[in-house]
Structure 1
Amino acid sequence: MSHALIADLGGTNARFALVPINQYQPQEVSVYSCKEYESFFDAVSAYVEQCSVNFDSIDAIVLAIAGPVNQEVIRFSNNPWHFTRQQIQDHFGHDKKIALLNDFDAIGHSLEVIPQEELVQIGEPATVDPKAAAWVLGAGTGLGVACVVPQENGANIVLPGEGGHVDLATCNDQEDYILRFLRERHHRVSAERVLSGMGLENIYEALAHRQGIERRLSAPEIGAAIEAGNDQIADATLAQFFTFLGRVTGDLVLSVETRGGVYIAGGIVPRYLEHMKRSAFRDAMQDKGRMKAFVSPIPTFVVMSEFPGLMGCANYASYLVNQA
């Protein structure tokens, strides 16, 4: 049976898996800590040595990468690994089909194959136009964004970008304070500075500082405090996180009218799904003045699949092999 070797290479972890061609559920998933391997090649070699499929039966390799992939030397946004396309082809062999995708391009390719029960709609039910464009975004180590344009024949077009690095906009006094606080440190403040694991830490520190408290917690510590329910600043941090997420989502919809929906993945939002349901996310998304009626009909979903990036790689691998 023909297989694909697929990988979702993030800033913190590298997820490897196998999948039979024309199937989409990743098999033999292994998650490696990037910092424990000097290079991608060390990590993938360790995976191949322990997987059950003979390498000769692997016809395609699809890698989802946390960073731009249209560079001569591909570097990760939050990870010191780097390589060229030629190095990848040489490593795996010139008889293999190779594709390198941005990590959120991969999530974009997953929209066709994610089971409906793994999508949770946020806000009032709204109609999805399957022929219309969609946004995918998600916060984890960084903030990823991509736009998906459906195609009737062949793989959907996923328009890559670094939308997580757009300028952060604010709409009230608290948000102004957070922006000023972070500007003193970073000069230019991007959306990723508040919509990521680091972003939770930044929001917490800024809100504490506003109360005259010098304190910065790690993202896991903030999560523990939210779970314990004993830290009002942690609760306010998560609430502000979802408000910022709504603002950025609304800005994306103003840029491209995505009646195919907005799909939110990443490591943070699914973990706090119930908090998001109670948050001001949709209100902030729709808070676009006279353009509120334009933004409001756009449906938003949280992607609850454990490995959407790998599912997107599996989908793309099938296109690679089938078109050969």
Structure 2
Amino acid sequence: MSHALIADLGGTNARFAIVPINQYQPQEVHVFSCKNFDTFFDAANAYLGKCSVELEFIDAVVLAIAGPVNREVIRFTNNSWAFTKEEIQAHFGADKAVALLNDYDALGHCLEILPKDDLVTIGEQEAIDLSAPSWVLGPGTGLGVACVVPQDGVANLVLPGEGGHVDISTNSDQEDFILQFLRERHTRVSAERVLSGMGIENIYEALCAREKIGKRLTAPEIGEAFLSGSDPIAKETMSQFFTFLGRVVGNLVLAVESRGGVYITGGIIPRYLDAFKESGFRKAMQEKGRMTGYVSPIPTFVVMSEYPGLMGCANYASYLVSE
């Protein structure tokens, strides 16, 4: 049986898996700490040493990388790993189909094969047009954004970009205060400055400053305080975080009418799913004045899959091999 070696590579961790071609659930997943290996190839060899499928039965290698992949040399921010596509090809063999994807390209390629059980609808269920574009975005360490355009018979087109770094907009006195607070520090405030783990910390610090409280917490500490109900500023922080996310999603929908849906990934939203369902996310998304009727029918979902990036790699591998 033909298989693909797939991996989701970040600066801190590398997730490896194997999957039969034309199947999409990652098998034999192993997560390695990048700091324990001098090179990517050392980590890949360690995985293959554990894997039940021998290299001769692997026909495709697809890597999702947290960073730009359109450079001659791929380098990582938080570790010393570096390689070229040619080195990947040479390491695994000239007979292998090889692809390097940006991590949000991989997430874009997972949308068409995600099980419905892995999706939680936010707001009322609206009709999905499978032939129409979709957005996938996810606040986590940063804010990743990708636009996915369906194609017939070939891999979907995932449009490149850095949507997480667009300007953030405001629509209340509190949001104005937060942006002014952050503008004094950063001059320009991008969406990622409020929609990421760092963003949660920024919002919390700004709201404390508004109350004349000199206090800072980490994102996990804010999340714990929010879930326990022990800190009203933590509660307001997460409420504002969800609202900012709605504003950005609404702006994306205005830019591209994504009747295929908006899919929210990343590690933050699933952790606070119940609160997110009850939040002002959809209201903020739809608050677009004369264009409210244009934005409101667009469905939004939270992706609950454990390894959506690996699933996207598996899907892309099936197209690679068929070519």
TM-score by length of 2: 0.95
Offset, 1:284: 0.6
Contact 1:208-1:214 within 8 A present in 2 as well: yes
Cα distance between partner residues in 2 of 1:93 and 1:200: 44
Aligned to 2:256: 256
Structure 1: which 5+ residue stretches go unaligned? none
Cα distance between partner residues in 2 of 1:21 and 1:65: 21
Change (3 A) 1:147 1:41: same
Offset, 1:81: 4.0
Aligned to 1:298: 298
Contact 1:243-1:284 within 8 A present in 2 as well: yes
Cα distance between partner residues in 2 of 1:145 and 1:251: 12
Change (3 A) 1:186 1:157: same
Instruction: Note the alpha carbon deviations across 1:9-28, whole angstroms, 9 max, x for none.
Output: 23443211110111100001
Change (3 A) 1:224 1:38: farther
Cα distance between partner residues in 2 of 1:188 and 1:41: 39
Offset, 1:74: 2.6
SS in 2 for 1:107: helix
Matches within 5 A, 1:96-135: 96-135=96-135
TM-score by length of 1: 0.95
Cα distance between partner residues in 2 of 1:32 and 1:150: 33
After TM superposition, the structure 1 stretch with the greater mean CA deviation from structure 2, 129-138 or 37-46, is 37-46
SS in 1 for 2:113: coil
Contact 1:21-1:318 within 8 A present in 2 as well: yes
AA of the residue aligned to 1:296: S
Structure 2: which 5+ residue stretches go unaligned? none
Offset, 1:77: 6.3
Matches within 5 A, 1:161-180: 161-180=161-180
Aligned to 1:144: 144
After TM superposition, the structure 1 stretch with the greater mean CA deviation from structure 2, 301-310 or 41-50, is 41-50
Offset, 1:58: 1.2
Cα distance between partner residues in 2 of 1:80 and 1:185: 30
Cα distance between partner residues in 1 of 2:14 and 2:143: 17
Matches within 5 A, 1:145-224: 145-224=145-224
Contact 1:155-1:319 within 8 A present in 2 as well: yes
Instruction: Note the alpha carbon deviations across 1:116-158, whole angstroms, 9 max, x for none.
Output: 1111111112110011111111111111111111112111111
Question: Percent identical across equivalent pairs?
Answer: 71
Aligned to 2:22: 22
AA of the residue aligned to 1:120: V
Equivalent pairs, count: 323
* Alignment RMSD (CA, Å): 1.6
Cα distance between partner residues in 1 of 2:206 and 2:143: 19
Change (3 A) 1:303 1:78: farther
Cα distance between partner residues in 1 of 2:79 and 2:161: 18
Offset, 1:161: 1.3
For the pair 1:53 / 2:38, whether they are aligned, the reply is no
Cα distance between partner residues in 1 of 2:146 and 2:137: 6
After TM superposition, the structure 1 stretch with the greater mean CA deviation from structure 2, 58-67 or 81-90, is 81-90
Aligned to 1:87: 87
